[in-house]
Amino acid sequence: MSNSYFLQNKPFVVPTTDGKLIEEHIGREVNNESEHSIAHMVAPPGWSEPFQNPEFDEYTLVIRGRKKIEIDDEKIILKVGQSLLIRKGSRVRYSNPFEEEVEYWSICVPAFSLDLVHRE
């Protein structure tokens, strides 16, 4: 491995129990990267997470379907081609209450960690 670059050949598939596919391409599990993480996700219809109050900024870009995001007291439906930045310290919940899968990319700064997400 070079100090100048990191070529990722196989993402880390995060074990889940809710039917959601999470493939970390860059991050703590793949290459011990703590500054940022990049993950590809596919969430099934009816999927949701509990509210959280993360210690990282999270960028989301939807490439298929729709994703519902509750931030503090607002509700946003993120659609194909739209992206959203949620600043650390926000109370947020992600879900897919729709009949189709949602596929998206997520970038977290600093990198995602269960210790930093603070799920309720």
The model's pLDDT over 55-82, given as tens digits with 9 standing for 90+, comes to 999 999 999 999 999 999 899 999 999 9
Contact 20, 41 (CB under 8 A): yes
Mean pLDDT, the chain, whole residue set: 96
**Would you call the peptide bond into 110 cis, given omega within 30 degrees of 0 as the criterion?**
yes
Residue 44 pLDDT > 70, yes or no?
yes
Query: For residue 95, which phi and psi values (nearest 5 degrees)?
Result: -160, 165
pTM of the predicted structure, to 2 decimals: 0.93
CATH architecture of 12-117: Sandwich (2.60)
What is the mean pLDDT of the segment spanning 7-11? 93
What is the mean pLDDT of the segment spanning 112-120? 94
Residue 52 DSSP one-character state: B
